[in-house]
Structure 1
Amino acid sequence: MTSPLEIALRLQTVKYFKMVGLAVLVFDYCIKLEAEINLTWGRKWNSIRIIFAVARYMPFVNVPVDLIYSLGPTSPQLCLSLYQVSSWLNIIGTIAAESLLFVRTYTLWGRSRVLLVALLLLALGCIAGCGVVGASALSLFKYEDPPLGTSGCYQTQRIAIYAVNYALLALFETVILSLNVFQAWHHRRRQGSRLIAHLYWDGIIYVLYILAMTMANIVVIGLLPSEYSESINTRCFIAFYPLVFFSTCEPLFNDDTSKPSSQLCRRTLSSDAIFI
């Protein structure tokens, strides 16, 4: 049986993880603000920019709720309410962030109608699966007062079924990764523009990063003690999803805008590409 001291130490470790996530979020926002102003401010509002704004700023709503969950009152009912609010914010932010990768991949594939329908069906299937898992797991939550006067909410049992949500997310990201790798390989065979190749490989590296984070969440939720279940939650890192658009597109915007690669990147950020 786990001792109260060990449980308290685990909960404290999770708090450190979340504070690090907050610090990284604020720091990254500061260093990328100029890029955001140059690439998105002053442009016409459309579906892509709305998705970008949701993915970009949702963490600033979600992280404070998450910190209250970890540092605030310990009432079981309040803890469950905070968790539900945080989960919904996380879902909205994740859908928006993954939509950016969706639109980017769709654009790089020449806006193929077949690919659009296939990815939409896959995305809807994953969302439906996550909804079923969430509804099934709701009755499994059980909170108690944390030991040794530790602050925050203490969930007493590991809800391993939540790993299924991240498995579905990993499936979607693996498909996106495979499509990007195939296009990069095809482009290399044609010996196309180096800037376009840079656009492909930056995206591949980034999708690999978020896929690794998703797999880490599966391991933490499925295998580690319940106290660690929130330690590597995607919500603390979701701000990075729109930032890949900055790192990928910024050098292209600063180059000659008549180049095809720059036009492609501009079209992705500035037009309703998904609905054309």
Structure 2
Amino acid sequence: MNDELSDELALSWSRLQTVKASKCCLRVLHISLNFRQYVNVASMAILVFDYCLTLDLEVSLVWPSRMTLSKTLFVLSRYTPFFDVPVGLYYILTPNVPLNRCFNLNLAATVMSVFGIAIGEAILFLPQSMGYFLAHQCSCLSFLQATQVGASATVVMVSMFLRSMEFGPPILAAIPGCNQTGGSFILIGACFILVLLNETALMSYTLWLGFKTYRHSRNPLIVTLYRDGVMYFMFLFMGSTANFAILIAGEASFFDLPTFRR
């Protein structure tokens, strides 16, 4: 009799611990998903806030100017986030998204993110190198060819990653957004390694160009250009590092945060 009571008590205790563990796991999952949603909504808020801060200068200085390569890059970097960030928010916040639509949304957001990163690197390289390029075309062309090889490898790996993506129904009906159930995330990690290497090489090359060409210059414009360029690079570098860490060591619910890097 005592043995039967002991077995029943042990079984009841085990069930109680299982229920507590399940509640704890659900609570952790809920906190993680809320954090992901808060970060992504904050990204959209920062985007709109930044646009409003400089809209008057943009209207008075940029819009009336003639179309050049620099203006084209500026317009692309300025306005394309208003496409892919809402797509990403829809991907994350909309309940009961069909699985085929999840794939298309993920495809659009990922392609636009890669495009935005490429535009950002072009902006980082263009202002400091154009003057030097005219006088030293061979060295600049060699560097651009090496950069193009890295960019091509990144595009190939992103394509392989997109084909490997798998989606399933949400874990709970109350959880909005698409549920990624599989995919070769290591490919995206490798892409961000290439981005880190490319950005480091790009910034090192830019600093070398600046030191060689403008080391005796006291022009405030040149000083400001290089100072802001270094700061811009540092933010890009930290963003790439954070993205790589999330993809390698983070939880699956955070894998889409790199969408909002740019």
Fold conserved between structures, TM > 0.5: yes
Cα separation, 2, equivalents of 1:64 and 1:186: 43
1:169 and 2:195 correspond: yes
TM-score by length of 2: 0.81
Q: Is the CA contact 1:177–1:208 (under 8 Å) kept in the aligned structure 2?
A: no
Bigger mean CA offset, 49-58 vs 190-199: 190-199
Deviations 1:170-195 (A, max 9, x none): 12211121123334444675353344
Measured after TM superposition, the shift of residue 139 of structure 1 is 3.9
> What runs of 5+ residues in structure 2 fail to find an aligned partner?
1-20
The answer to whether the aligner puts 1:76 opposite 2:110 as a matched pair is no
**Which whole-Å deviations, capped at 9, do the CAs of 1:52-108 have from their partners, x for residues lacking one?**
211110000111100110011332221111100111222222222222122123125
Instruction: Measure, in 1, the Cα distance between the counterparts of 2:239 and 2:31.
Output: 23
| Structure 1 contact 10–227 (Cα < 8 Å) conserved | yes
> Structure 1 residues 42 and 213, CA, compared in 2 at 3 Å: closer, same or farther?
same
Change (3 A) 1:39 1:98: farther
Specify whether residues 212 and 152 from structure 1 end up closer, same or farther in structure 2 by C-alpha distance, changes over 3 A only. same
**2:215 & 2:119 partners in 1: Cα distance?**
33
SS of the counterpart of 1:49? helix
Deviations 1:14-49 (A, max 9, x none): 111100000000000000112222331111123332
Query: Which residue does 2:159 correspond to in 1?
Result: 135
Matched, 1:230 2:256: yes
Structure ID, larger Rg: 2
Pair 1:34-2:56 in alignment: yes
1:183-262 superposed matches below 5 A: 183-186=209-212, 189-190=215-216, 192-231=218-257, 233=258, 235-238=259-262
| % same residue | 23
Q: Which digits, 9 at most, give the CA deviation of each residue in 1:234-255, with x for residues without a partner?
A: x4342xxxxxxxxxxxxxxxxx
Correspondence 1:23-172 to 2 at 5 A:
23-72=45-94, 73-107=96-130, 109=132, 111=134, 112-148=136-172, 149-157=174-182, 159-172=185-198
Deviation string, structure 1 residues 118-155 (Cα, Å, up to 9, x no partner): 23212321221112212322343222222332100111
Moved over 6 A (4+): none
Q: Secondary structure at the match of 1:119?
A: helix
Is the partner of 2:222 in helix, strand or coil?
helix
Checking the alignment, whether the CA contact within 8 Å between 2:107 and 2:162 is kept in structure 1 is: no
**Alignment TM-score, normalising by the size of structure 1:** 0.77
In 2, Cα distance between equivalents of 1:189 and 1:45: 31
Deviation at 1:4, TM superposition (A): 4.1
CA contact (8 A) 1:69 1:83 kept: yes
Instruction: Pick one of 38, 42, 45 that aligns with 1:20.
Output: 42
In 1, Cα distance between the equivalents of 2:159 and 2:73? 26
Residue correspondences, number: 236
Aligned residue for 2:198, secondary structure, equals helix
- SS of alignment partner, residue 109 of structure 1: helix
RMSD: 2.3
SS of equivalent residue, structure 1 residue 42? coil
Mark the runs of 5 or more structure 1 residues left unpaired by the alignment.
239-276
